[in-house]
Chain A
Amino acid sequence: MNSFVFKRLLSVVPVVLVVLVTVFLLLHIGPGDPAAMIAGENATREQIEEIRQRLMLDRPLLEQLWLYLGNVASLNFGESVYSGFPVMSLILQRVEPTAILAIYTMVLSILISIPMGVWAAWRAGTTLDRALVIASVIGFSVPVFVIGYALVEIFALRLRWFPVQGYKSLADGFLACIRSLTLPAITLAFLFSALVARIARATMLEVLSEDYIRTARAKGARNRRVLIVHALKNIGVPVVTVIGTSFAALLGGVVITESVFNIPGMGRLTVDAILTRDYPVVQGVLISFSFVLIAINLLVDLSYALFDPRVRQ
Chain B
Amino acid sequence: MSVASITAPGKRGPEWLTIPVCISLFFLLMILGMAVFGPMILGNGNELNPMMRLKPPSAEAWFGTDNLGRDIFARTVSGARNSVIVGVTTAALVLLVGGALGVIAGYFHWADMVLMRVADGLMAIPGILLAIALVSLLGGGLVTVIIAIAVPEIPRTARLLRSVVLSIRELPFVMASVSVGSATHKIILQHIVPNAIGALMVQATYVCAAAVLSEAALSFLGVGTPPDVPSWGNVVASGKDYFRLAPWIIAFPGIMLSILVLSINILGDQLRDQLDPRLTKRRP
Chain A residues within 8 Å of B, Cβ to Cβ: 14-19, 21-23, 26-27, 29-31, 37, 124-125, 129-130, 133-134, 137-138, 140-146, 149-150, 152-153, 157, 164, 205-206, 209, 248-249, 251-252, 255-256, 259-260, 270-271, 274-275, 277, 279, 282, 285-286, 289-290, 293-294, 297
19 contacts between A and B (CB under 8 A): A15-B120, A18-B117, A23-B125, A137-B265, A137-B269, A138-B258, A142-B262, A143-B216, A143-B254, A252-B128, A252-B129, A255-B126, A255-B128, A255-B132, A255-B221, A259-B220, A275-B136, A275-B222, A293-B124
Interface of A is mostly: helix
B117 touches A15 (CB 8 A): yes
List residues of B (66-101) whose CB comes within 8 Å of A's CBs.
none
Interface SS of chain B: helix, strand, loop or mixed? Answer: helix
Q: How distant is the Cα of A142 from the Cα of B254 in the complex, in angstroms?
A: 8
Complex-state Cα separation, A152 to B251, whole angstroms: 12
Collect the chain A residues with CB atoms within 8 Å of residue B130's CB: 286
Lowest 8 CB-CB distances: which A-B pairs, in order? A18-B121, A252-B128, A146-B254, A30-B137, A141-B262, A141-B261, A142-B258, A251-B126
Of residues 108 through 127 on chain B, the ones whose CB sits less than 8 Å from some CB of chain A are 117-118, 120-127
Name which of B1-9, B168-176, B189-197 contacts chain A.
Answer: B1-9
Partner of B247, one of A153, A206, A271, A293: A153
Interface centre among B6, B130, B282 (most CB of A within 10 A): B130
Q: How far is the CB of B173 from chain A (nearest CB, A)?
A: 29
A248 touches B262 (CB 8 A): no
Which of A143, A256, A270, A279 meets B258, CB within 8 Å?
A143
B252-280 vs A, CB cutoff 8 Å, 1 = contact: the mask equals: 00110110011001100100000000000
Indicate if the CB atoms of A149 and B125 lie closer than 8 Å: no
Tell me how far the C-beta of A142 lies from the nearest C-beta in chain B, rounded to whole angstroms: 4
Contact A141 B209 (CB under 8 A): yes
Smallest beta-carbon distance A206→chain B, Å? 8
Assess A124 versus B139: contact at CB under 8 Å? Given A23-B125, A289-B126, A293-B124: no
Binding site for A on B (CB under 8 A): 1-3, 6, 117-118, 120-130, 132-134, 136-139, 209, 213, 216-217, 220-223, 236, 240, 243-244, 247, 250-251, 254-255, 257-258, 261-262, 265-266, 269, 282, 284
Supposing A15-B124, A142-B258, A248-B123 touch, asked if A31 and B139 sit within 8 A by C-beta, the answer is yes
Question: What residues of chain A lie closer than 8 Å to B6, measured between beta carbons?
Answer: 130, 133-134
A residues in contact with B244, CB < 8 Å: 157, 164
Least CB separation from B232: chain A residue: A143
**Contact present for B124 and A142 (CB under 8 Å):** no
The answer for the CA separation of A71 and B122 in the assembled complex, in Å, is: 21
* Chain A residues with CB under 8 A of B243: 149, 152-153
In angstroms, Cα B217 to Cα A129, docked, is 31
Whole-angstrom distance from the CB of A193 to the nearest CB of chain B?
16
Complex partner residue of B262 from A26, A125, A137, A274, CB under 8 angstroms:
A137
Docked complex Cα distance between A164 and B245 (Å): 13
Contact check, B136 vs A255: say whether CB atoms are below 8 A apart: no
A57 to chain B, nearest CB (A): 14
> A282 contacts B133, CB within 8 Å?
yes
A137 to B209, CA, bound (A): 12
Whether B120 contacts A149 by the Cβ 8 Å rule is: no
| Contacting residue for A290 out of B126, B128, B136, CB 8 A | B126
With beta carbons under 8 angstroms apart, the residue of B126, B220, B255 that contacts A252 is: B126
Determine whether the beta carbon of B117 is less than 8 Å from that of A14. yes
Contact B121 A293 (CB under 8 A): no
Residues of B within 8 A of A27 (CB): 137
Q: How far is the CA of A206 from the CA of B117 in the complex (A)?
A: 31
Q: Given A29-B137, A205-B282, A290-B126, decide whether A17 and B121 contact each other with a Cβ distance below 8 A.
A: yes
Tell me which residues across on chain A come within 8 A of B120, comparing CB atoms: 14-15, 18
A42 to B169, CA, bound (A): 58
Could you tell me the distance between the alpha carbons of A22 and B134 in the complex, rounded to whole angstroms? 11
- Chain B residue at minimal CB-CB distance from A209: B282
Known contacts A18-B124, A142-B261, A274-B223; 8 additional CB pairs below 8 A are A21-B121, A133-B6, A134-B6, A145-B250, A205-B284, A251-B126, A271-B222, A285-B129
Most buried by A among B126, B132, B258, B266: B126
CB-defined contacts of A289 to chain B, threshold 8 Å:
125-126, 129
- Nearest-neighbour CB distance to chain A for B274, whole angstroms, equals 17
A300 → chain B closest CB, angstroms: 13
> Is there contact, CB below 8 Å, between B121 and A30?
no
Picked from A17, A142, A143, A290, the residue with its CB within 8 Å of the CB of B217 is A143
Given A142-B262, A146-B257, do A22 and B121 touch, yes or no (CB 8 Å)? yes
Closest Cβ–Cβ distance, residue B267 to chain A (whole Å): 11
Contact B125 A22 (CB under 8 A): yes
Q: Tell me whether A256 and B3 are in contact in the complex, defined as CB-CB below 8 angstroms, given that A142-B261, A152-B243, A205-B282 are known contacts.
A: no
- CB pair B121–A252 under 8 Å, yes or no, is no
Residues from chain A with a CB closer than 8 A to the CB of B132 are 255, 270-271, 274
Closest to B254 in A: A146
A14-B121, A255-B129 known; A141-B138 Cβ under 8 A: no
Whether A286 and B133, one on each chain, are in contact in the complex, defined by CB atoms closer than 8 angstroms, is yes
Hey, which chain A residues are within 8 Å of B117, CB to CB? 14-15, 18
**Do B126 and A129 touch across chains, with their CB atoms under 8 A apart?**
no
> What chain A residues lie within 8 Å of B254 (beta carbons)?
143, 145-146, 149-150
Q: Which of A137, A252, A274 contacts B3 (CB 8 A)?
A: A137
